Amino acid sequence: MNSSENQQSIFAKLLDKAEPIHYLVLSLAILIGGVWAAYTFISTSEIEMAQKELARIQQDQIQVEKQLEEKTIKLEQLKERIKGANSSNIQINGQVTELPNDKFGLIINVLVQNTGENNVAMSWTNSPLKVFRMDYKDGDKVAFRDVYTPKIWAPSPNKKKFYEKLHLFVGVRKELSFFVELPKEGLYYITFKAETDETTAEKVDDAGHWFTSKYIYVEKTEPEKIQPIVVDMGDLLMK
C-alpha cells in the first residue's frame, strides 16, 4: 500500500469518527437550545404573571384606600350633623358706665340660643363668666392681671343664690345678665364657658364645652363740648 492510499485510509477513519461527534455536538446544541428556550419561556411567563399579580394588588389597594376615604368622609359628615344637632349661638354684649367712685361698672348680657335639633343642657361651677384685666405690649403680647367672676344671681328673700345650670329647648333663646365693678381703664377680656352633659359630649366627640369670648376696652368718655354760635350782628341789622 502506497503513501497516498495510507492517507486516504487515515482520512476515512477520521471522517468516520468525526461524524458521530458532529451529531453528538449538534444534539447537545439542540438540547441546550431547547432547555434555554424553555427556561426563557418560563421566566417570561413568571415575570408576566408577577406583573399581573402586582397590578391586581395595586388595584385592590386603590379600591381599599378609596373605600376607606369614603367611610372617613361619611364619618366626618355624621359628626358634623351630630354637632349641628347639638349647637348653640352664644353672643357677649357689654355696656360700660362710669361710677361715682372713679371706677367703672360693666353690665354684660350673654345671649344664648339653641340653634340645633336637640335640647341643650349647660352647667358650670359658681359662674360661666370670667372678666380678665389685661396688659399688652409689643403688638400681640398680652398678660392676665386680675380676674373677676360675676354670677347669675337668683332672686331669693332669705339668702343669696345663683344659678349653676341652664336648659334650652330647641329654638329657645335666653339672655343672662352679669354685673362687675372694674377698677380702672384698660383692656379687658370676657369669656363664657359652660359644660354640656356627658351624652352630648360623647356624640360630638370632644370635651363638651360651650365657649365664646370677647375683648372690650374701657375708658372714660369725654363730656360733649358745646360749640359757641357766632352771629354776625351786621347781618341781623340788615335783615
- Rounded distance, CA 185 to CA 181, Å? 11
Report the b/e string of 84-103 with b at 16+ CB within 10 A.
eebbbebebebebeeeeeee
Q: What is the pLDDT of residue 80?
A: 53
Q: What is the pLDDT of residue 165?
A: 82
Q: Are 74 and 137 in a shared domain? A: no
Q: Among 47-56, 130-139, 168-177, whose mean pLDDT is lowest?
A: 47-56
Q: Are 77 and 125 in a shared domain? A: no
- Full-model pTM: 0.56
In tens, the pLDDT along 2-57 reads 555 555 565 556 555 555 666 666 667 776 766 666 666 666 767 777 777 778 88
| Domain count within the chain | 2
Asked which of 84, 117, 150 is the last residue of a domain, the reply is 84
Q: Are 43 and 70 in a shared domain? A: yes
Which three three-digit cell numbers place residue 184?
A: 380702672
Mean predicted confidence (pLDDT) in 203-221:
77
Mean predicted confidence (pLDDT) in 146-175:
83
Q: Is residue 136 part of a domain?
A: yes
Q: Are 77 and 92 in a shared domain? A: no
Q: Are 162 and 44 in a shared domain? A: no
Mean predicted confidence (pLDDT) in 235-239:
51
Q: Is residue 232 part of a domain?
A: no
The boundaries of the domain holding residue 5 are 1-84
Q: Is residue 202 part of a domain?
A: yes
Asked which of 84, 105, 122 is the last residue of a domain, the reply is 84
- CATH code for the domain in which residue 103 is found: 2.60.40.10
Asked which of 69, 84, 99 is the last residue of a domain, the reply is 84
Out of 10-14, 119-123, 233-237, give the one with best mean pLDDT.
119-123
Question: 134 with 142: CB under 8 angstroms?
Answer: yes
Q: Is residue 150 part of a domain?
A: yes
Please, what is the average pLDDT of the chain? 76
- Rounded distance, CA 146 to CA 188, Å? 10
